[in-house]
Amino acid sequence: MAEESKMERGLLVQPLLEGSGNSNNNEEDMMSTAGKSSSPVEATSAAVIFSTFVAVCGSFSYGCALSYSSPAESGIMEDLHLSIASYSMFGSVMEVGGMIGALFCGRLTAVLGRKYTMWLSQVFSTIGWLAIALAKNDWWLVTGRLSIGFGVGFVTYVVPIYVAEIAPKEHRGSFSYASQLLVNCGFSLVYFLGNVVSWRTLAILALVPGAFQLVGLPFIPESPRWLAGVGRVKEFKASLQQLRSKNADISQEVEEIQDSVDESKDDPKARVGDILQRKYAYALTVGLGLMLLQQLGGTSGVAYYGSSVIQKAGFSTTVGTIIISLVQVPIAAVGLFLMDICGRRLLLMVSAGGMSICSFLVALSFVLQVH
């Protein structure tokens, strides 16, 4: 818990105010800053962009896993002669793996570091995709999907943290959103490719983003904030310098990160029971309520079994899944744009209300079919 609070506090640190005074720099000041740069544009170096790309490959992999069971449903059930109950187990067991992975991810990320946790997540995911691609029966499928769930539990936690910790604060929001954008891209790609390739081939293709991450991880720096937190000061400064470019002046950012780390060390150790105090009741209710709304709002059912829903509605599965794949990425971009204009609360209320109405219409259509 101390690690998470340290990260959150550090990410909220605002730039220090520039010293006021005479606007004309003397010759000594100009010489001392020669060759250094701290502008937002130059601070967003190629190393930050490449490191973010490698990290969000994990998010892309999660998007693939999220949508895989829908386009693969008919092929798997026919080839392996599965019952609806067996396939439902396959479709839902990833959530179980994700919950188990999430129980250990926070501690692993704090102890092992961000890079090693991402590597571990892709090891589980790779094993899972290979098990599905080579599956001989439903147990292969369930084991593979469970292993992917472990990887998902890790990657959905560590990737946003890593990206937020390496990005310059001027562009942190945009870089952090790349994680969700790549989830939608992976979701859309699998929905689209599921119409043209077999389920085994689709599993191999879904493995590719994770393979890219595994190959790229040795070439990206560890999170400077994590290195500072574990006392590896020399590596912390080298990592930050690599991310900000060799000519960037990192002294101010080094001081900010070190101050936030030192401050967090003085915080009392948080315990699980602390969250049950009455003063946290409202925040806890809102937080858990939003989490339950997301999980129980019907999106997972549509994602996992979209092909069946479309088919039973009497619509073309191919056309339906293509339409879903085409709207995912643009809608995510629109959501980002509206978030800054309308605010989080209004957007949440409108989207939740719209989702409720649409789910009701889907249910009503099936009721009318029966009667």
Encode pLDDT of 155-195 as tens digits. Answer: 999 999 999 899 887 777 777 778 888 898 999 899 899 88
Q: How far apart are CA 178 and CA 186, in angstroms?
A: 12
State pLDDT tens for residues 342-367: 777 888 888 888 888 888 888 888 88
d(CA 290, CA 198): 37
In this structure, are residues 151 and 214 in contact, taking their beta carbons and an 8 Å threshold? Answer: no
Mean pLDDT, rounded, for 233-260:
86
Supply the pLDDT for residue 127.
96
pLDDT grade, residue 247 (50/70/90)? confident
Q: Could you give the CA distance from residue 232 to residue 296 in angstroms, rounded to a whole number?
A: 43
pLDDT of residue 151: 94
pLDDT on residue 176: 75
Q: Range with the lowest mean pLDDT among 149-158, 221-230, 259-268? A: 259-268
- Say if residue 336's pLDDT is above 80: no
Instruction: Record the tokens describing residue 233, joined without a space.
Output: 């000061």
Candidate ranges 25-29, 53-57, 330-334, 363-367; pick with highest mean pLDDT: 53-57
Tokens matching residue 174 = 């945009």
- Give 1's DSSP letter: -
On the question of pLDDT at 114 being above 60, the answer is: yes
- Averaged pLDDT of the chain: 81
The answer to whether 231 touches 250, Cβ cutoff 8 Å, is no
What's the angle, vertex CA 270, arms to CA 268 and CA 272, rounded to 5? Answer: 160
**pLDDT: which is higher, 1 or 159:** 159
> So what's the pLDDT on residue 223?
92
Could you tell me the two tokens for 355?
Answer: 């989702």
Neighbours of 148 (CB within 10 A): 34
Q: Which strand (E) or helix (H) includes residue 136?
A: none
State residue 44's pLDDT score: 60
pLDDT of residue 42: 45
Q: Are 34 and 289 in contact (CB under 8 A)?
A: no
